């Protein structure tokens, strides 16, 4: 009798698990939402082998499998309203449960709610435009998670003309943490100290610096600061890498083993702007070797670009001004116009594009997020075509992007296209080898060419 009772309990328990209702628990119907919204479902409402289909206003959005939340009490689907470019206003979010029936997925249950999306609402803007500024004050600290990486894409000339799309192949990425601390404010200018921080709960970072071929461990006693006097727009007045002074008052000028990060803050517009306005902007890049920084008092190189006040929106819970910086130039050929009109991925033989998106908080005056990419397109010949003189000289590591530099300036090869991720080690910051010489050494010929795109990115997100 006891065994029979236990068996009944097991069967009843299994049935209860299988019968969990498939319904949206949160957000509630009529809720106001923004940014990334967790759509919560009961823990056992999606059986193994099943998945959900998500719709927005009756139109299919995506199919996926929800994941357990941190407490393992519910299943979560994360609806990124900004990624899917969902307009502000009322929308119907639906989820359908797809179960395997007769070897084919069939809808077995549905649930839906109405929510009000407000990514751009509730942020007051002065009638005469926004004056976007950093709000420096002594003791201000901002810590960022920084991810640096590179990708390569290739597509033959024939595939490009047929409308093919290049697949992106990640070549590698690494993460560090960066501190921007305001040590003093005088006359409206901020003395801003920036330096690498160890991983949370650790005393080190793992990074590939110039001169190294693989990531290595760097202890926190290697991390050294860069000091900048900045306007509230982020424009540099003066930059320096000071000597270290020990407890006995003796100076040390040996920075061979110090690890520096030349990552600057975005430079903000000087005038008031309305959403949609443009201005003559600059993309701030780390520049120069340590001796050059000390001799010139400049640690930032500015690349002229077109700036656009793109939107006012919420980002990571902060009311923000969204700014776009862009610069693009390249070498066209006789097919460029036709390829552009046809919407092809590659439209010209050689192109270099800089783009940065920055979100600045109206409330705190901090950079909340920054996404920077640099894309270099080139067409490499096939068959009898010449490949030229090889890649541009590198300061150490073989990768086109380096996490740092020990010194020396990178060489140049052919018509190399170099992009320098702004981070350096020791005696300076060396320009990485790029896509050097790929057009040199012979005429492009044979049976067409192959388009190659190198993409470098540097993303910063403010830690909470």
Residue 50: Cβ-neighbour burial (10 angstroms; 0-12, 13-18, 19+) = middle
d(CA 417, CA 391): 9
Residue 261 confidence (pLDDT)? 85
The vertex-20 CA angle with 15 and 26, nearest 5°, equals 170
Query: Tokens representing 357?
Result: 């998106």
Summarised one tens digit per residue, pLDDT across range 62-111 is 999 999 999 999 999 999 999 999 999 999 999 999 998 888 899 999 99
Residue 41 confidence (pLDDT)? 97
Average pLDDT, integer, range 419-435: 39
Q: pLDDT band at 24, cuts 50/70/90? A: very high
| Contacts of 175 by beta carbon, 8 Å cutoff, 6+ apart | 145, 146, 147, 148
Q: What is the pTM of this model?
A: 0.79
Diameter of the chain measured on Cα atoms: 91
Residue 20 confidence (pLDDT)? 80
Decide if domain 19-117 falls under CATH 2.60.40.10. yes
The DSSP-derived string for 166-188 is PEEEEEEEEEEEEEEEEEEEETT
Where helices occur in 301-428 by DSSP H, the ranges are 336-341
Give the domain ranges of the chain.
19-117, 141-462
Average pLDDT, integer, range 177-191: 96
Residue 248 confidence (pLDDT)? 42
Residue 333 confidence (pLDDT)? 62
d(CA 360, CA 132): 8
């Amino acid at each position: 009798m006891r065994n029979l009772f236990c068996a009944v309990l097991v069967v009843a328990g299994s049935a209860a698990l299988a019968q969990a209702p498939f319904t949206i628990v949160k957000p509630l119907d009529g809720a106001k939402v923004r940014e990334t919204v967790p759509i919560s479902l009961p823990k056992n409402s999606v059986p193994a082998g099943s998945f959900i289909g998500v719709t927005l206003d009756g139109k299919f959005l995506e199919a996926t499998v929800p994941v357990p939340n941190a407490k393992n009490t519910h299943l979560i689907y994360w609806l990124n309203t900004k990624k899917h470019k969902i307009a502000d206003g009322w929308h119907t979010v639906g989820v359908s449960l797809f179960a395997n029936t007769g070897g084919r997925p069939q809808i077995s249950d549905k649930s839906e709610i109405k929510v009000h999306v407000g990514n751009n609402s509730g942020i007051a803007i002065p009638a005469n435009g926004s004056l976007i500024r950093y709000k420096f004050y002594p003791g201000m600290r901002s810590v960022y998670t920084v991810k640096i990486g590179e990708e390569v894409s290739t597509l033959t000339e024939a595939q490009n003309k047929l409308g093919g799309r290049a697949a992106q192949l990640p070549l590698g990425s690494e993460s560090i943490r960066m501190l921007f601390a305001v040590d003093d404010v005088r006359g409206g200018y901020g003395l801003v100290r920036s330096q690498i921080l160890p991983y949370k709960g650790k005393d080190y970072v793992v990074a590939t610096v110039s001169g190294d071929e693989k990531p290595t461990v760097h202890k926190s006693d290697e991390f050294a600061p860069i000091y900048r006097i900045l306007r509230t727009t982020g424009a540099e007045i003066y930059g320096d890498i000071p000597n270290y002074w020990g407890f006995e008052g003796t100076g040390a000028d040996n920075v061979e083993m110090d690890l520096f990060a030349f990552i600057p803050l975005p430079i903000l517009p000087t005038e008031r702007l309305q959403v949609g306005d443009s201005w003559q902007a600059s993309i701030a890049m780390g520049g120069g070797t340590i001796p050059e920084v000390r001799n010139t008092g400049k640690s930032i190189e500015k690349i002229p670009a077109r700036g656009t006040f793109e939107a006012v929106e919420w980002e990571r819970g902060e009311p923000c001004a969204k700014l776009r910086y862009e610069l693009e130039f390249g070498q066209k050929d006789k097919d460029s116009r036709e390829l552009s009109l046809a919407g092809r991925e590659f439209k010209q033989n050689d192109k270099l594009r800089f783009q940065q998106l920055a979100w600045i908080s109206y409330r705190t005056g901090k950079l909340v997020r920054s996404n920077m990419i640099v894309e270099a397109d080139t067409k490499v010949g096939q068959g009898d075509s010449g490949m030229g003189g090889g890649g541009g000289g590198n300061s150490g590591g073989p990768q086109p992007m380096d996490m740092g530099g020990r010194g020396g300036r990178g060489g140049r090869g052919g018509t190399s296209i170099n992009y320098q991720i702004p981070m350096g080690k020791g005696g300076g910051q060396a320009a990485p080898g790029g896509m050097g010489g790929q057009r040199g050494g012979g005429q492009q010929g044979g049976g067409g060419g192959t388009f190659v795109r190198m993409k470098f990115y540097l993303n910063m997100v403010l830690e909470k």
